[in-house]
Amino acid sequence: MSDIDNFPTLFRTQVPLIDTRAPVEFERGSMPTATNLPLMNDTEREAVGRCYKNEGAEAAIALGHQLVTGSLKEDRIAAWIKFANEHPDGALFCFRGGMRSGLAQQWLKDAGIDYPRISGGYKALRRWLIDSSDNIYAQETFLVVAGKTGCAKTRLINHGASGGRLPGGIDLEGMANHRGSSFGRRDGGQPTQINFEIAVDSAIFNANDEPVPFIIAEDESRLIGRCALAQNLQDCLKSAPMVVVEASLEARVEHSFENYILANLADLKTRLGDTKEAFEHFSSDLYAALDRIKKRLGGVRHHELTRQLDDAIASHLKGDTSVHRGWIAALLRDYYDPMYNYQLENRKERIIFRGSEGDVAEFLLAQQHEPTPE
């Protein structure tokens, strides 16, 4: 039976993984390519843990074998066999690469499948990712895409290379499942902080592994929704050269309308059906987002925007979505734009290029194809 300790290749090739830890551990955080097929469920793990604490390792191991036996054991082995047959290039792991993954590996071996195990388990994978990211941050090879709200920065990173992802680009908002502003909540919720950090570290490793001189990321603050950027990533984004995407107010209103109105409602309808419940969720999310910035808007402006939103919701219910563009335009022009202009003025010395979405995409592609200095 073999162990895998070549972590760069594992992340580079996106190896499918079996996480044999309990569901509660998996939900807290796991690798992006992992599927949870646990040796023990949460209740069984808790019982074995209590036994270990009170009676020692030998008694805990014996209890584990008593709990996972008969048809229960057969079902779990069957799930591992199915995964191994579907992913013959995969591997399995537990927390430290110890007893749980070792037992799963042995049971698979007894069933005729020699399936590799991750040396050091989840803990070693996580440590390697953190160390790898720290080394990349130290190189300071980031380029930041900035621009006013609604200028399609995320679209540029994901589709700016002839419809495909920009080489070296990482989509921080995609990994956070959030569009970044008060109105940026997306259906499905956000990942745990640990899962977000793992996804970012993995994406940064793979972007840095490409034959390009820069990692390209969107200009972000400390938080994307409730997901926090690592401090060293924040430091890199705060000091990196910037390219600025410029777009008219009309274009930015349209982009925001498509994302925050049409796309958000479509996502809710996909989950809940084309129902009254979906629209109620959609509209209440808009009001909640507006309320979250009430203090910064001020009472008068918040009241006026709420009135405009009331009109837009009423018109939307009658089949006319276009009224939303009015309050979106007012919010961008009177709230987000002044804040952005102030922030950009304080960082203007970092700007190396500015232009339309297409112009910025061409500039970034040219930068990525320049030879790396020896």
The enclosing domain of 65 has a CATH number of: 3.40.250.10
Residue 77, domain member (yes or no): yes
Q: How many CB atoms within 10 Å of residue 369? A: 11
Burial class (CB in 10 A: 0-12, 13-18, 19+), 235: middle
Pick the last residue of a domain from 127, 159, 179.
127
Residue 114, domain member (yes or no): yes
Say yes or no: 197 and 101 in one domain: no
Say yes or no: 111 and 36 in one domain: yes
Residue 132, domain member (yes or no): no
Which H helix or E strand runs over 137? helix 121-139
Residue 133, domain member (yes or no): no
Say yes or no: 241 and 256 in one domain: no
Say yes or no: 227 and 284 in one domain: no
Say yes or no: 103 and 14 in one domain: yes
Coil, helix or strand at residue 351 = strand
Structure-token pair, residue 356: 């339309």
Say yes or no: 117 and 174 in one domain: no
Position 370 scores a pLDDT of 67
For residue 243, report the phi and psi dihedrals to the nearest 5 degrees. -115, 140
How big is the CA angle at 365 (ends 33 and 249), to the nearest 5 degrees?
95
Say yes or no: 46 and 180 in one domain: no
Residue 189, domain member (yes or no): yes
Instruction: Order across the sheet with 215-218: list the strands.
Output: 215-218, 142-147, 242-245, 351-355
- Round to whole Å and give the CA distance between 141 and 13: 23
Residue 374, domain member (yes or no): no
Position 374 scores a pLDDT of 46
- Round to whole Å and give the CA distance between 196 and 203: 11
Among 292, 272, 268, 294, residue whose Cα is nearest residue 282: 268
Provide the domain count of the chain: 3
Say yes or no: 53 and 111 in one domain: yes
pLDDT tens over the chain, length 374 residues: 689 999 999 999 999 999 999 999 999 999 999 999 999 999 999 998 898 889 888 888 888 888 888 999 999 999 999 999 999 999 999 999 888 999 999 999 999 999 999 999 999 999 999 999 999 999 989 999 999 999 999 999 999 988 899 999 999 999 999 998 889 899 989 999 999 999 999 999 999 999 999 999 999 999 999 999 999 999 999 999 999 999 999 999 999 999 999 999 999 999 998 889 999 999 999 999 999 999 999 999 999 999 999 999 999 999 999 999 999 999 999 999 999 999 999 999 999 999 999 999 999 999 998 655 44
- Round to whole Å and give the CA distance between 327 and 310: 10
Among 370, 5, 8, 6, residue whose Cα is nearest residue 202: 8
Instruction: Name the packing angle between helices 299-317 and 324-331 (round to 10°).
Output: 160
| Catalytic residue, candidates 94, 151, 227, 236 | 94
How big is the CA angle at 313 (ends 265 and 153), to the nearest 5 degrees?
50
CA atoms within 13 A on the CB side of 203: 21
Say yes or no: 155 and 190 in one domain: yes
Among 343, 369, 287, 362, residue whose Cα is nearest residue 147: 343
Among 19, 14, 10, 3, residue whose Cα is nearest residue 79: 19
Q: How many CB atoms within 10 Å of residue 372? A: 9
Residue 280, domain extent: 249-338
Position 371 scores a pLDDT of 56
Position 60 scores a pLDDT of 84
Position 275 scores a pLDDT of 85
Pick the last residue of a domain from 70, 101, 127.
127
Contact status, residue 108 vs residue 81, Cβ threshold 8 Å: yes
Position 98 scores a pLDDT of 85
Residue 343, domain member (yes or no): no
Coil, helix or strand at residue 216 = strand
Instruction: Determine the residue type at 102.
Output: G
Angstrom CA distances, 204 to 119, 135, 154, 210, 260, stand at 22, 11, 16, 10, 27
Say yes or no: 239 and 352 in one domain: yes
Say yes or no: 51 and 162 in one domain: no
CA 26 to chain centre: 16
**Beta pairing, strands 91-93 & 142-147:** unpaired
227 noted as active-site residue: no
Position 17 scores a pLDDT of 97
Which H helix or E strand runs over 35? strand 34-36
Structure-token pair, residue 308: 């405009």
How big is the CA angle at 318 (ends 317 and 323), to the nearest 5 degrees?
80
Among 186, 202, 204, residue whose Cα is nearest residue 194: 202
- Round to whole Å and give the CA distance between 98 and 70: 23
Residue 310, domain member (yes or no): yes
Say yes or no: 241 and 268 in one domain: no
Contact status, residue 221 vs residue 55, Cβ threshold 8 Å: no
Position 238 scores a pLDDT of 93
Pick the last residue of a domain from 86, 104, 127.
127
Structure-token pair, residue 70: 């008969």
